[in-house]
Structure formats: C-alpha cells, structure tokens
A = this chain, B = another copy of it.
Amino acid sequence: MVRLGGVTVTERSVAQNAQLALLLEVSGTPKPGNVDREREHDDLRFEHFMAGAVGARSGLDRAAVGDSIGPAFEAAVEGMAGQSGGNTQLGALLVLTPLVAAAADERLSPASADTVVRETTVDDAASFYRAFEHVDVAIDDPPDGLEPLDVRRGSDAIPELREREMTLFDVMESSADVDGVAAEWVSGFERVFEASKTLLEGSGPVADRASDLFLELLAAEPDTFVVTRQNRETADEVQERAQEVLDGEEDATALAEEFVERDINPGTTADLVAGALFVALERGLEV
C-alpha cells in the first residue's frame, strides 16, 4: 500500500503490470505502422488489442505463480486469441512471459531473466508449438535443416522436437539471428532492459514515452517482423525513415499513415516496447 495524492492505493501485482504493459503499448501514438489509438486496420482494430490483453491475463497469472514458461505462454496466447482480429500480441507475450516469471521469482534483472529462459525444457518447447494452433501468425520459412520445426506445423512438429531434444531456449537460439524477440531471449533481454531506462528517465504521459521509445528502437535496428512480412529492403527503409522522424526531417503522423497504407507493421519493435513497459512498471514507473 502506498499513499498517493491523499488516497490509499494498492500496488499492482506482477501479472497486472504485464497486462497493463500490453494496454499501454497500444495506447502510444503515433507508432508508425502499428495499430495505435488513432490508427487501425479494418480487420485488426484497437478493440482487438483490448480484448487480447484481457484474454492473455490468465496465462500471465500462471507465469506469475511459477507455472512453466511454455504452458503459461500457450495459455496467454490462447486467451489473447479469443477475439476476431487474429494475432494481436503473440510476440509481446513471448517477451513478457519469461520476464513475469523472473519478476515473480526474485528481483527482475537481465541475469534472473536469463536464468529463467535457460531453464526451459523440451516440454516448454512443445507448449510453444501448440500455441501456434490458437492463432494465425505471419512467419517466414525456417532456415535450412529446420523445416520439420516450422512453427506453422503446430503440434505436428513436437515429435521432431523431442527427437532433437530441443528446449524452448534452443528453439529461440535457432532463430535469434532472424527474429528480434528470439534475439532478446538469448541476450538477457538486452534491448528491453536498456529501453526500460529510457521510459523511467522520461517525463510526461507514459503513452507518449512509449511512442517515442518505439521510434528510437525502430531507428536503431531493422524490425524483423517487417523483414518476414515484406523483405529486408523494406525493413531498412523503415529504419531510415524512423531516424528521419527523430532528426525532425519527417513527420511521425504522416509516416504512420503511410506505413498503415502500405501494410508495413513493425510488430517486433512493438513487442520490445511492451517488454520495456513491463520492466519499467516493475521498477516504479508511475501511471
């Protein structure tokens, strides 16, 4: 319990902070290319992100009470998918689930998050694959030799997974060079923790800090979801144009309109912002 503005308020639980991170992420505007408070697609709307965050909560609760990462993630994705917009926050949940487990277990840090992901099992990997049966996700063809482990195969890939004795950490490691979320898993969530400092050091509305952070991350590295759905060339262009916004040479709102029009959706960068919001909330970011 803390006193705030003369009234007594309760501090949020770890799972509540994770759910709030999902909601704050989509509340930032403008976030060029992503659904935000002022831009949406006909078939993927702001309200689908609200429903996704509501449904994901039970899986986040499971991670917070110490359930294994794989089943907790699968439950979060299944709950998230209970709306008609399709995939809203799968990547964000893949960032959040281990962070929630780390925060519930001990003090949240890159080291504790690293321990959580390195302790994942083959069963966690099996649950991860099952999660893809709940929702259609844009995914590239897997690298050579990993075709049997294409996540689009869902449960059908599980025997191969057991044969190769791949843990969920191993699965992430195998795509860390082509997937920005997987790259976080194998690096102690380096960009997420770094980004959380930007949020904590900022001032003003949290939603504005989230959209500023989104642009900074977008300008720093190519978004791997854009590489997957379009190509590397487009991802490079997105990165450059985000830098132009930061340099004051381009208008963020105009860029947001253009990217939505061209169906360019830097989803991985949004996933990292959700993770950073969660870490910042755990470390005292006030909303």
Write the residues of chain A forming the contact surface with B, with a CB cutoff of 8 angstroms: 4-12, 16, 19-20, 23-24, 27, 37-38, 45-48, 50-51, 53-55, 57, 78-79, 81-84, 86, 133-136, 205-207, 286-287
Contacts and interface: CB of A to CB of B under 8 A. Distances in A.
Contacts of A135: 7
A207 B45 contact: yes
Contacts of A23: 23, 50, 53-54
A81 B16 CA distance: 14
Contacts of A54: 12, 16, 19-20, 23
Given A38-B37, A54-B19, A55-B16, A86 B46 contact: no
A24 B48 CA distance: 10
B55 A27 contact: no
A49 to B, nearest CB: 9
Given A54-B19, A55-B16, A136-B7, A47 B287 contact: yes
Contact of A81 (B9, B20, B83, B206): B9
Given A5-B86, A84-B286, A12 B47 contact: no
Q: How many copies does the complex hold?
A: 2
Contacts of A79: 10
A19 B82 CA distance: 14
Minimum-distance CB pairs A-B, first 8:
A23-B50, A9-B82, A37-B37, A51-B287, A20-B54, A47-B207, A10-B82, A83-B287
Given A81-B7, A207-B46, A20 B287 contact: no
A57 B12 CA distance: 11
A51 B11 CA distance: 11
A13 to B, nearest CB: 8
A5 B45 CA distance: 16
Contacts of A48: 287
A151 to B, nearest CB: 14
A50 B38 contact: no
Contacts of A4: 84
